[in-house]
Every structure is written in structure tokens, then in C-alpha cells.
Amino acid sequence: MNLHLRQRLLPIIITPREKEAHALSLAEDKGVAQQIAVIPIEHFIASNLIEIAVERQTPLSEALRALVNAYNQRVAAAETDQSCKIELE
């Protein structure tokens, strides 16, 4: 991260919402809180889904369904525990 800060890039930490405050606290302890962004993963995924839907000019529900289908295909191919799959109704 120090390299990114020296290059004036904005490092982004993506974390579960419940860990967001902890990540910000750690950044403050290191003195870099003003030089990084901490984003809850839920916001990151939602923003990306909206961007995909707009770019493809498809409804958000279709973009979400495509993401879930891709995820489920990867689970089917790589996981022994198929309960990881997501079911949409």
C-alpha cells in the first residue's frame, strides 16, 4: 500500500460491512485514513451490478441473474459442497 500512496494512487479496501469500522480504525492508527477508501463489499457488488446493467442496457434483475448463474456454474465445477449455490425465485 505504501507504494500506491507514494504514487498518489487511491488504495481501496473492500471489506464486509461489519468490518468497515475496524478497517477505518486500522487506517487511522497507521495515519493513512485520508489517503485510502474503505468500501463495504455489499456496496461494491451493487455498484458493479448497476454498472453492468447500464452498460448492457438490461434490467438490473437480469444482470443479477447472470451473475448468480455464473457463480453457480463455478460452484458446480469446483466445489464438493453444492449447498454453496444460490437459488433465485
Question: Which pLDDT value is given to residue 4?
Answer: 52
Distance CA 82, CA 5 (A): 41
Residue-wise DSSP of 28-58: HHHT-GGG-EEEEHHHHHHHHHHHHHHHHT-
Residue 5 has pLDDT above 60, yes or no: no
Q: Could you read off the pLDDT of 13-68 as tens digits, one per residue?
A: 999 999 999 999 999 999 988 888 999 999 999 999 999 999 999 999 999 999 99
> Across the chain, which distance is largest between two alpha carbons, in Å?
48
pTM metric for this prediction: 0.67
Question: Which pLDDT value is given to residue 11?
Answer: 86
Neighbours of 72 (CB within 10 A): 16
